[in-house]
Amino acid sequence: MEAAALVQKAFIREGIALRLNATITQVERSAGGKLVYYEAQGKEETLAVDEILAGAGRAPNIEGLNLETAGVQYDRRKGVLVNDCLQTSNPHIYGAGDVCLAWKFTHAADFPPGL
Ligand SMILES: Cc1cc2nc3c(=O)[nH]c(=O)nc-3n(C[C@H](O)[C@H](O)[C@H](O)COP(=O)(O)OP(=O)(O)OC[C@H]3O[C@@H](n4cnc5c(N)ncnc54)[C@H](O)[C@@H]3O)c2cc1C
């Protein structure tokens, strides 16, 4: 929450207008760019923008690794399943980093929590 407040302050200082607690209801192309329709505090608003960026989260990239053949269990959302020592269900294979950790940060990948 404190970090969000700092980022918010910096955005405002740089002239970035924020629309918080808003629900986007529709998006469409216009002659000069794109239009975002949204509802905020019970009011319908429209915003003209150049581009739309969507931050939709991240998912482990495990497709094509053929983990079944290696006897490595995984979950499509959690990624490769490991124990506290990062050992997978195949005791000869260990996991590391985002593909198996709940905390998907560089420092967690370098030094996993629990080790
Ligand atoms: C936009 C963005 C911003 C971020 N900002 C921060 C931040 O500010 N601070 C922070 O701590 N963390 C941040 N992160 C998270 C951080 O990047 C990751 O937690 C970290 O890179 C994880 O390291 P990793 O080695 O597990 O995976 P990665 O760094 O993703 O490395 C995995 C490597 O494996 C390769 N690879 C994938 N599949 C295969 C395959 N089949 N065969 C061979 N190679 C393969 C990939 O090409 C990649 O090089 C950010 C991530 C993103 C996407």
Please tell me the distance from the alpha carbon of residue 56 to that of residue 9, in angstroms, as a whole number. 23
Residues 17 and 61 in one domain: no
Residue with tokens 């629900």: 23
For the segment 63-87, what is each residue's pLDDT rounded down to a tens digit? 899 999 999 999 998 999 999 999 9
Answer yes or no: do 35 and 80 share one domain: no
Shared-domain flag, residues 115 and 62? yes
From 98, 100, 110, 111, give the residue whose CB has the most ligand 1 atoms within 8 Å, as the site to mutate: 98
CATH number at residue 33: 3.50.50.60
Give me the number of domains the chain comprises.
Answer: 2
Domain range for residue 37? 3-49
Q: Are 72 and 112 part of one and the same domain?
A: yes
Ligand 1 pocket, mutate which of 58, 104, 110 (most atoms under 8 A from CB):
104
Residues 80 and 111 in one domain: yes
Residues 36 and 84 in one domain: no
Question: How far is 75 from 88, CA to CA, in rounded Å?
Answer: 12
| 43 and 62 share one domain | no
Under a CB-based contact definition with an 8 Å cutoff, are residues 94 and 88 in contact?
Answer: yes
The answer on 63 and 32 residing in a single domain is no
Are residue 66 and residue 87 in the same domain, yes or no? yes
Q: 17 and 49 in contact (C-beta within 8 Å)?
A: no
62 in contact with ligand 1, CB cutoff 6 A: no
Please determine, for residue 105, whether its predicted confidence score (pLDDT) is greater than 70: yes
pLDDT above 80 for 114: no
Atom of ligand 1 nearest to the CA of 64: 41
Residues 7-44: tens digit of each pLDDT: 999 999 999 989 999 999 999 999 989 999 999 999 99
- For the Cβ of 109 lying below 6 angstroms from any atom of ligand 1, the answer is yes
Q: Are 72 and 89 in contact (CB under 8 A)?
A: yes
**Do 23 and 45 have their domain in common?**
yes
